[in-house]
Structure 1
Amino acid sequence: MAKKTKERDFNLYHFEETKKIEKKRNKKKSKQVKEKESDNKFSFDNEIVIGVTKLEQPKKTSRTSKVTKQKNSKTIDAKKQDSKNNEMKREKINKKSKKSNLEVKPKKKQEKLKKENKSQQKNKKEQNYKKIKKEILTPEEYERKEKIKKRNLYIAKYIMLGILLIGVILCAMFSPLFNIKDIIIEGNETISTEQIISLSKIQLGDNLFKINSAKLNKQIKENPYIDEIKITRKLPSAIVISIIERKPAYLIEYANGYIYIDKKGYILKISETKLELPILQGTETILNEDSLEGERLCIEDLNKLSIILKVMQIATDNDIQNLINRIDIENENNIKLIFETEEKTAYIGDSSNLNIKILTIKEILQKTKGEAGEILVNMDLNKEYPVFRERV
């Protein structure tokens, strides 16, 4: 406890001494300030002024001295305040000068930044002006832009649809749901379903969407009787093959048999059996056993066949098509129709006025039943009369 009391006394003593020292310092400073102010004051006593005479001041009374003392005290106080204010102003000025010296560099930076900002703003304005110039379009250019936009939209839509379709197809191709379980053949009359399936080379269990329809069409058309094919996929696991067959319309005598020909001139089959169809005579097509079935007649015979088709169509309209047994097409300007059952031969000539010629042949056939002979209608029937020449 004694130690603590000693320490406290020491601290108090030290604190009082420091206070005394500070008071002395402040007094000295106030004296120095007063001396400076007195030095700064102008007085005629201290200065020698040339050409100026100092007037003697009148003696002041006691009352005036009191007033003057009061005034002098007031002026001293005012001067003190002015000096303080001046010092404050100087300090402020010094601080501002220091700040200005410190702020010189950042001001330069700011000026640079301002210049850069101005240049950037100019560039932006120029860019905006260019954009506005581009945007100001003529009506033709505007229409063109709109068309391009629409086209791009359509293209994007189609691309999306295409991607979706590809995805669906890929899923379908690798899914076991679409494996073939049924093969349906439609429209076949002369060809059996087994023959068509063997030609198609389709097997049960094949994927429905992996079948190439063009290849399948080609494979099945190897048979000359098949004219057209339609392939439809019946989901989920059936395929339908619809067929339109070629039918024999005419015969050509070949060796000991007959060649069946359809209306388009395709060679369908070589057979020994004779069908109840008209036989074509005088064809120019070179016929070989190796390359017959599935081939067509030569161009000359096809041109003659087009005339025969017209003749037979008019004959069917007049109900005499079944009476025609043979047609001689050796000379297309002198076509012959042979009626074996009627024992008559009709000479048509060329393909002009076929309707009148067939009608006259029909009338002559009706009038000359049981008589063998030749019917001549190979002339202009508007100017000449037809002729029936009886065979002797």
Structure 2
Amino acid sequence: MTPVTQDNWQPGTPPGGRRRTQHPTAENPFEEPEQSPELRQERSPDLYRATNPFWNQPFRDAESASAPPDLGEPPQSPPPEASVWSHPPVLDTDSYSEETQKRHHRTRRVWKAIVPLALAILFVAFLFGGVLTVRNIRVTGNVRISAEEIIRLSKLKLGQSSLINEKEISNRIEQNPYLICRMVSLESFDTICIEVKERQEVTFLTTSGIGVITDAHGYVLRTVQNANESHPELVRVQGLSVKKTIIGQKLIANQQKQLDAVTEVLLQLTVMGGLDQIAVLDVSSLDRIRMQTMDGMEIVLGDSSLLHEKLRAFLIVRTELSAMGKTGGTLTLTDAVNPVYAPPTV
């Protein structure tokens, strides 16, 4: 039998050459089911649905398909049950009589009352029995001010309780503007140590007709009524416009930059060990800061930039000039790398 194809098909003949009469035949069986309802009836309703397990299995390429399937680890038998040994109770509380339990409760209540009372008695004994009593007061760091004066300021007394307020004692000591209280500590049950630092007089300046003496940081240590009083051991500051002075506090200047320049110069010279060579510091113009040494040499620093380098160059050059026997004149350090010295004119 000649197979039926799309080219030799005749109407009324189904595919395969046999006529089927259970449903009408489409004009062209090769058309899609939309045009051939009889083909849609023969096809399975799950044709376009992935309900078959074949479609749901994981994809395996050729390499993985040749590998044996992973059957997982063989099941393990459960561990044998552990042997449990029941220990007999050490203390059978059920065997306690009611009277015994009450006696134990009373004992615990008595101890709870006795222990705090005993601790309180011991504390009072330590406090008033001489254990927590000040027997020694030690002062360190003082140079000019005596230890007796510092102890007097602290208001500490021998025989008092060693339970002290360190902050309050520090405030009492610092009522003296020359003193900085660094630490108040209890070295032992009966010894208190006070560590102080003394402020040093460094500068002398005049304002409102009075003389003011400060340290290198600008703290006012004391004032003198005679503004013309001579203090050759101090650096005389000129040109600083002062707004307010309070003993024990820092100077308040009309121009803070002036005070900052004075403080930096003094601190740098203190660290370098050259403060004792300076007699005058003039900050009238911040673009031309000047100093004068004890032997009359004028030092021109220029503005307040690179003061550390300029002051270091000053000490080096001055040492060389002193070795050459030269005094006086003018040393210009506006350029710290290239200082210029001009000898005094005759």
Place the TM-score, normalised by the shorter chain, in its bin: 0.5 to 0.7
Q: In structure 1, what is the equivalent of residue 197 of structure 2?
A: 244
Q: Which of the pair is proportionally richer in helix?
A: 1
Is the CA contact (8 Å cut-off) linking 1:180 and 1:205 kept in structure 2? yes
Asked whether the 8 Å contact 2:258–2:286 carries over to 1, the reply is no
Separation in 2, partners of 1:218, 1:201: 11
Please say if residues 218 and 263 of structure 2, whose CA atoms lie closer than 8 Å, have aligned partners that are also in contact: no
Deviations 1:285-333 (A, max 9, x none): 2355xx3x211123434411343036515863xxx64332111122233
1:373 counterpart (322, 326, 329): 329
Quote the Cα distance in structure 2 between the aligned partners of 1:387 and 1:322: 21
State yes or no: 1:195 paired with 2:166. no
Name the CA distance, whole Å, in 2 between partners of 1:261 and 1:254.
13
**In structure 2, distance between residues paired with 1:168 and 1:300:** 62
Equivalent pairs, count: 217
Q: Quick one: distance in 1 between partners of 2:121 and 2:197?
A: 32
Deviation (angstroms), 1:367 = 5.1
* Stretches of structure 2 lacking an aligned partner (at least 5 in a row): 1-115
Contact residue 346 and residue 361 of structure 1 kept, 8 A: no
Deviations 1:315-363 (A, max 9, x none): 63xxx6433211112223311011242x331211123241345534554
Contact 2:137-2:193 at 8 Å conserved across structures: yes
Distance 1:169 1:220 in 2: 33
Q: Which runs of 5+ in 1 are unaligned?
A: 1-162
Quote how far apart the aligned CAs of 1:217 are: 0.9
From the superposition, tell whether residues 296 and 248 of structure 1 become closer, same or farther in structure 2 (CA, over 3 Å).
Answer: same
Mapped partners of 1:168, 1:213: distance in 2: 26
Correspondence for 1:277 among 230, 234, 251: 234
Give me the TM-score of the superposition, normalised by structure 1.
Answer: 0.47
CA distance in 1 between partners of 2:182 and 2:121 (Å): 26
Q: Which residue pairs with 2:46 in the alignment?
A: none
Name the CA distance, whole Å, in 2 between partners of 1:188 and 1:194: 11
Larger Rg: 1
Contact 2:266 / 2:275 at 8 angstroms: preserved in 1?
Answer: no
Contact 2:135 2:190 in 1 (8 A): yes
Secondary structure at the aligned position of 1:307 is classed as helix
**Alignment partner, residue 312 of structure 1:** 269
- Corresponding residue of 2:173: 220
1:235 equivalent in structure 2: 188
Q: 1:347 aligns with which of 300, 311, 321?
A: 300
Shift of 1:198: 2.4
- Does the C-alpha gap of structure 1 residues 303 and 212 become closer, same or farther in structure 2, counting only changes over 3 Å? same
Q: Is the Cα–Cα contact under 8 Å of residues 127 and 133 in structure 2 kept in the other structure? A: no
| 1:286 corresponding residue in structure 2 | 243
Could you tell me the percent identity over the aligned residues?
22
Secondary structure of 1:336's match?
strand
Alignment map for 1:22-61 (pairs within 5 Å): none
> Conserved in 2, the CA contact under 8 Å of 1:184 and 1:240?
yes
Counterpart of 1:386 in structure 2 is 340
| One-letter code aligned to 1:378 | T
What's the secondary structure of 1:196's corresponding residue? helix
Tell whether the 8 Å contact from 2:180 to 2:199 is kept in structure 1 after alignment: yes
Q: How far did residue 191 of structure 1 move?
A: 1.8
**What's the C-alpha RMSD, in Å, of the aligned pairs?**
3.5
Q: Tell me if structure 2 keeps the 8 A contact 1:248–1:262.
A: yes
| Residues 1:300 and 2:250 are matched in the alignment | no
- Tell me, in whole angstroms, the C-alpha distance in 2 between the residues paired with 1:168 and 1:302: 59
Deviation at 1:221, TM superposition (A): 0.9
The answer on whether the counterparts of 2:134 and 2:162 sit within 8 Å (CA) in structure 1 is yes
